Chains A and B, each alone.
Chain A
Amino acid sequence: MVIIQTTARARRVGDRPKRRRRLGRTSPAAYLAAILVAGLTALPLLFVIIDGFRSTPDINSKPVGWPSPWRLGNYSGILGDQQFWRFLGNSAQIAVVSTALAVGFGAMAAFALSRYRFAGREALYGFFVLGLLLPPAVAALPLRLWMSRLHMLDNIYGLGVAEAAFALPVTIVILRPFMAAVPVELEDAAVIDGAGRLGFFWRILLPLSTPALATVGVLAFVTSWNSYLLPLLVFDQPEHFTLPLGVATFQSQYSQDTAKVMAFTALSIAPAVLFLIFAERRIVDGLTGAVKG
């Protein structure tokens, strides 16, 4: 994701009210196609959510159908189950640790890499960029060995730290050009006013970078929240499992009780859906207005 760069300018261009065009006047066929695309995309999600309201015998005898009656039992059962909340809590703690470290350390490094001049700066930047090519999928196995040497297996904070390390490259690659674009005059003014460089960073640059910080924060959080392979390799004890790991385990554990699996899976979608509802403008605009072509 070398390319996502939330600049205020790009976003303004994206938001500019467009004149009604002669081209692309929307035909019924286009509406139909758009609805079809959205429908096909949503279908699997609806299927799982709706089947979560049915009972397993009902599903077994009639694989596709509406719930009759709508049962809340599967959902309330899982919401009353400590296991679900433990998975959710683990995921949340890991994601918060990883996001905080990645954004905090990443912003500091991006500041140094964008607004100081020193020997080896570009080499150091290249060193971080290299990390874009080294996602957890490739490093996972050696990382497990390494973390076992550091006695960090089965430790949720240990995983948070490791995930933060993998989120750093994207964070720095997005933040550096953003911070570089802040006018020098602002920095000079701050220094003249006696703020010092670190004061300028803390009081002026960081607040100005809020949109970019939000973007990298969202990226780091979602990546951590969804990650599967690293937790799989790092956690042996089920009490440390994250939600993705939990969903997969739950499915094999209760493979006989389809309805319960459906409900569990549907509930694991909920955080993403809630997140999308709250952050929809941020994400979609952020990405649409923000990709540097």
Chain B
Amino acid sequence: MSTPRITSSRGRVRIRMELGFLLGPATLLFAGFVLAPIGIAIYYSLYSWGGYGPLTDFVGLKNYTDALSGSVFKQAVEHNVLLVALSLLIQLPLAVWIAMLLNRRMRGRALIRVVVFAPYLLSEATAAIIWALMLSKGSFVDQALKAVGLSGQIHGWLADPDIVFYTLFVVITWKYIGFGIILMLAGLQAVPAELREAAAIDGASPWQIMRSVVLPLLGPTIRIWIFLSVIGSLQLFDLVWIMTLGGPAHASTTMVTYMIDHGYKSNEYGYGSAVSVIVFALCFAFALLYQRFVLRRDLDGALTNAVR
């Protein structure tokens, strides 16, 4: 990194002007639209406020205690946590497996990769509508099950409170796994073929090669995927909102759908602001801890140095 090597005071003034010109717009934009809202949220969260008129009804931390002790919010948190767990247990192995598969030389590999990546580029809204159509009663999914003789397995995919969240998990997996696969494919480039060949020559089985050679070298990629996946899971909104509005009977509520439901739909802006501060605090705490204890070795500098 270079430093402009000018020491005269005129030069220093010039550098200051340049810095102001270069950094000013980004800083203003960022502070004005990203940081200001969170400050505002903290302020509003201390009031009971319906979105119009002056803030008069100061309630202190009541919004926070209400949210944290409310059963629906607890359910929402449970759903977010369940999603994190399912992602780690199912999406991660699946992404690694598909990436290994697509890392082989095969005809049409580029096309297959593009297809697998395509859902990630779709908007959540489009993906949600597509799946809502596929899952509606008697539609594609039900007919497909019937065709293979599993009519007994037909459920109200989005209407049955016991099932709806798992249905959403399938849709989420379809939508986002492409990103995981591409990440893992990238990580696999860091595993030299020679290493695997050497292990094979030494008599290692494919499973042993996987466990002792590939997975350790894929470690940094996997740790970053976990980070992005957890943050994404904690902030899930679009797909759920369009497909179920968090229902039926709160069976698919997430923290952010809960926040929008109260803050925007029911005009409880003070309360909604408190919920958004809680979500932010959770994500922030997770990110800091994860950076500290897990990612430190992988990311030189980006977050650990900065947020300290």
Contact = CB atoms under 8 A, between A and B. Distances in A.
B307 A130 contact: yes
Interface string B130-153: 111110001110111000000000
Interface in B161-196: 174, 178, 182-183, 185-187, 189-190, 193, 196
A233 interface: yes
Contacts of B283: 133, 138
B134 A105 contact: no
Interface string B287-308: 1000000000011001101111
B4 A162 contact: no
Contact of B30 (A2, A168, A226): A168
Given A38-B112, A276-B114, A276-B117, A138 B280 contact: yes
A23 B200 contact: yes
A20 B238 CA distance: 44
- Main SS at interface, chain A: helix
Interface string B19-34: 1011101110110111
Given A222-B121, A228-B238, A293-B220, A2 B302 contact: yes
A230 to B, nearest CB: 10
Interface of B: 1-4, 15, 18-19, 21-23, 25-27, 29-30, 32-38, 40-41, 44, 51, 98, 101-106, 109-119, 121-126, 128-134, 138-140, 142-144, 174, 178, 182-183, 185-187, 189-190, 193, 196-197, 200, 209, 220-221, 224, 227-228, 231, 235, 237-238, 241-242, 256, 259-260, 263-264, 269, 272-273, 276, 279-280, 283-284, 287, 298-299, 302-303, 305-308
Contact of A146 (B37, B129, B131, B209): B37
Interface in A103-147: 104-106, 108-109, 111-118, 122-135, 137-146
A145 B37 CA distance: 8
A156 interface: no
B129 A247 contact: yes
Given A116-B19, A143-B37, A168-B26, A45 B302 contact: no
Nearest to A137: B235
A38 B4 contact: no
Contacts of A213: none
B23 A48 contact: no
26 contacts: A3-B299, A14-B189, A38-B111, A42-B115, A42-B118, A45-B118, A64-B143, A108-B25, A109-B26, A112-B23, A130-B307, A139-B34, A141-B273, A142-B273, A144-B264, A165-B30, A165-B32, A168-B34, A180-B1, A229-B260, A262-B133, A272-B126, A276-B121, A283-B117, A284-B110, A291-B187
Interface of A: 1-3, 13-14, 18-26, 30-31, 33-35, 37-38, 41-42, 44-45, 47-48, 51, 63-64, 101, 104-106, 108-109, 111-118, 122-135, 137-146, 161-162, 164-166, 168-169, 172-173, 180, 184, 187-188, 197-198, 222, 225-229, 233, 243-245, 247-248, 251, 258, 261-262, 265, 268-269, 272-273, 275-276, 280, 283-284, 287-291, 293
